Amino acid sequence: MKVVALLLAVSFALTARSQNTINNYKYVLVPDRFDFLRTADQYGLNTLTKELLQGVGFTTFVANEALPAELAANKCNALKAELVEKKNFFTTALTLLLKDCQGNIIYKSQEGKSREKEWQPAYSEALRNAFTSLNAAQYKYDSTTAAQTIPIPVSVAPVAVAAAIPATVTENRNALYAQANANGYQLIDTTPKKVMVLLKTSQQDNFIADDGISKGIVFRKNGEWFFEYYTNDKLVSQKLNIKF
């Protein structure tokens, strides 16, 4: 229980977290049709987008392609590619967006333009010009990048524990998928929706946890994961079904 108390105290420290970047993602999913087009892969634009993303270094899939197991189990491991067309009488203009599974824009390219009169060469040239800024970004996938964490000192009073405190035990059978980030993981349900943040500690399989309502710890015991926190001065222990 002393460990629990210490981790609960540390959980209220403020940390400086690095911004999410394209370097945190290995995969990009490309739709078979962009919103401004009428048919799938019209003008070969979806195929070209996939090829250009692969040229940058991403592992890329178009809709209906077979996915690797880690991506099939949790599509939040991938970015989603979108193209935005800007209407202009004299030019064709496209902007590439890379979004996470919650719709947040992780990357926005410069606007690529073309003055070609025919649609196919115009879209192709505009897209290649939009990729100029992404090529210059020098993307490189790095799953081990860790942001600098700056803790604010917290005074922790000595904790005297005479006996173990019995916990109220509950169980959440819903699958939660762990998506790695700079400081640990975020747990995503099948919606997908972020339901909990896990921050790394110095102890393996022990995390500071925050589900937006309660703060506590998540740890593994006998091969199972538990989320423990206090509510109304009572210890609650919730069994979780986490997929790493």
Domain ranges of the chain: 2-16+162-243, 26-136
What is the C-alpha separation between 69 and 189, in angstroms, rounded?
A: 17
152-206 pLDDT, tens per residue? 444 555 555 555 566 777 777 788 898 888 888 899 888 888 889 999 988 888 9
What is the per-residue pLDDT for 158? 57
225 has pLDDT over 60: yes
What does the pLDDT read at residue 172? 76
pLDDT digits (tens, 9 = 90+) for 108-130: 999 999 999 999 999 999 999 99
pLDDT > 70 fraction of the chain, expressed in percent and rounded: 83
pLDDT at 1 over 60: no
pTM of the entire structure? 0.54
Please, what's the largest Cα pairwise distance for the chain? 81
Residues 33 and 81: their CA atoms lie apart, in Å, by 11
**Secondary structure element (H or E) that encloses residue 29, with its range:** strand 27-30
C-alpha of 165 from chain center: 36
- Percent pLDDT > 90 in the chain is 50
Q: What helix, strand, coil percent values describe the chain, rounded to 5?
A: 20, 35, 40
Residues 152-169, buried b or exposed e (16+ Cβ, 10 A)?
eeeeeeeeeeeeeeebee
Q: What architecture (CATH level 2) is domain 26-136?
A: 2-Layer Sandwich (3.30)
**Positions of E strands within 103-202:** 105-108, 112-114, 168-181, 184-188, 194-200
What is d(CA 29, CA 22) in angstroms, rounded to the nearest whole number? 13
- Are the C-beta atoms of residues 237 and 230 closer than 8 Å to each other? no
